[in-house]
Amino acid sequence: MTDQRGFEEAVRSGLAGLAAAEPAPPGLAERLVSHSVDAPRRLSRSGASRSGVRRWLAPVASAGLVAAAALVAVVVARPTHHAAAPADPAAPSSTIASPSSGPAPGTGPVFTAVPAAGSLTPATCAVPPVAVGGHDLATVDRAPSNLTIAWYFGPKAACGPIQLTVAGPARAVQLADQVRAASAASTGSVYCPDDDHSGAVLYFTYAGQPSAETVTVNFSGCSVLNAPGRRPRAAGSVITGLLPLRPPVPGPTSARPS
Amino acid sequence: MSVDEDFSAFVSAQSSTLFTTAYLLTGNALEAEELLQDVLVRLYPKWARVSAADAPVAYVRRSVVNQFVGARRSARNAEPTLSAIPESGSEDEALVAVLDRAVIAELLEALTARQRAAIVLRFFHDQLDDEIATALGCRAATVRSLISRGLAAMRAQLLRPAGAPADGTEARS
């Protein structure tokens, strides 16, 4: 019969074995220092809070924006079509910048600048439309050093400055791998019901690279991830990876990914 | 030495042991790095105060534990699911089985966040009740209860016949 002390010793031994089986990954200290020191500075340049790695840049929804969001909510309560064509001109617009250098040639990723906190102030919180097309799938490079995520909760949510969060290298690498592994979305004209226009734009940054590689993820409707001039991928696994990072939905109504 | 240099030196020296703590708490290398990273980013702006503590590594470890417990508490999604409980057998067989790291990883998953933190701090870091109580923000008696209930839960899981559902009798904090 095993006594209590024997069981405790077994647990002690088991924990030691478990710890020994998973040593710290290579480069851990460098990543931790780099992210701890650099991420707060990057976000604080535009006056963001310094309280934590994921700084929810609290939306300050003005009465005008709330009213606009309420109006648009009526308009967008309809299905959309995802197709290899320019973005639907009727879709809610955003002031998010187009990629600064346009789609890169070949199979590489699409580059753009990482937005500063508070710089994205769309008229609604609809995820920006993307003009998809071409032969190459949306992609990003492996091993990003950081990931900035711009969250769009859809026009049903109160809309203020778009919330940005910063994920660290481990999560960035995981999501980049999920993007790269995602299967191609269905081609042609596809009916996408229940599109609440919620989603996220992912800005993957890399050591020594000034611009970011971006993909846009649609949480609802066809649930695809897009990049300008690229073919969409199915976003299911990426959405699953993103949900734990998502800040609370602001405003009087909730727009949850389906 | 500047604050940045001190911070870098600390992380270089202690990241491995702090990662181990985070890994034993989370059971996942990716989550462990995220947990440790979250804590360090939060502590970096006040690093001068942290480094002035009697034992900075203990301070950071307490922060890791608190962050882990707080995150699990807010998630509220952690009903245990055990996918690879060993076949039922005698307790002597169980003692051998618990030495297997895959098994103990499963058993830890059966615990609440506070039970898991108490078990890791006691049986991996060899901390005393008072030290664990400080880390968890509770009384020493509560620590003893957490450890006792945690061990009992692990033992019960270990001896449960394969495929038997969790009975949910363990109080979850």
Higher local confidence (pLDDT), B127 or A112:
B127
CB contact under 8 A, B45 and A40: yes
Q: Would you say residue A66 has pLDDT above 80?
A: no
| Residue-averaged pLDDT of chain B | 79
Question: What's the mean pLDDT in A157-171?
Answer: 81
pLDDT in tens, B37-48: 889 988 888 898
Interface A-B: count of C-beta contacts within 8 A: 128
Q: In this structure, what token pair is assigned to residue B162?
A: 């394969």
Question: What's the mean pLDDT in A64-87?
Answer: 36
Between B19, B37, B105, which is nearest A35 by CB?
B37
Classified as helix, coil or strand, A212 is: strand
Higher local confidence (pLDDT), A10 or B129:
B129
pLDDT in tens, B37-76: 889 988 888 898 888 888 888 899 999 999 898 877 655 4
Percent of chain A with pLDDT over 70: 63
CA atoms within 13 A on the CB side of B163: 0
Question: What's the mean pLDDT in A56-76?
Answer: 34
Interface test with A, best of B34, B46, B149, B157 (most A CBs within 10 A): B34
Q: Would you say residue B127 has pLDDT above 70?
A: yes
Q: Would you say residue B83 has pLDDT above 50?
A: no
Higher local confidence (pLDDT), A110 or A54:
A110
Q: Would you say residue A231 has pLDDT above 50?
A: yes
pLDDT in tens, A177-192: 999 988 888 766 666 6
User: Would you state the pLDDT for residue A159?
Assistant: 75
CB of B60 within 8 Å of a chain A CB? The answer is no
Q: Would you say residue A109 has pLDDT above 70?
A: no
CB contact under 8 A, B41 and A35: yes
Cβ contacts of B151 on chain A, cutoff 8 Å: 4, 7-8, 11
Distance of CA A204 to the CA centre of its chain: 9
Higher local confidence (pLDDT), A40 or B36:
B36
Q: How many Cβ atoms sit within 10 Å of the Cβ of residue A252?
A: 11
CA distance A11 to chain B (A): 7
pLDDT in tens, A188-221: 666 666 778 889 999 998 887 778 888 999 988 8
Q: Would you say residue A125 has pLDDT above 90?
A: no
Q: In this structure, what token pair is assigned to residue A30?
A: 């460098």
Distance CA B139, CA B129 (A): 9
CB contact under 8 A, A8 and B30: no
Q: Would you say residue A84 has pLDDT above 50?
A: no
Structure letter (DSSP) for residue A140: -
Read off φ and ψ for residue A105, nearest 5 degrees.
-70, 160
Read off φ and ψ for residue A107, nearest 5 degrees.
-95, 10
Distance CA B34, CA B27 (A): 12
Q: What is the value of ipTM here, to two decimals?
A: 0.77
Global pTM reads: 0.49
> Nearest to residue A258, comparing CAs of A226, A204, A221, A203?
A221
The residues, any chain, with a CB within 8 Å of residue A37's CB and separated by 6 or more, are B4, B7, B44
Distance CA B138, CA A99 (A): 52
Q: Where is A211: in which H helix or E strand?
A: strand A209-218
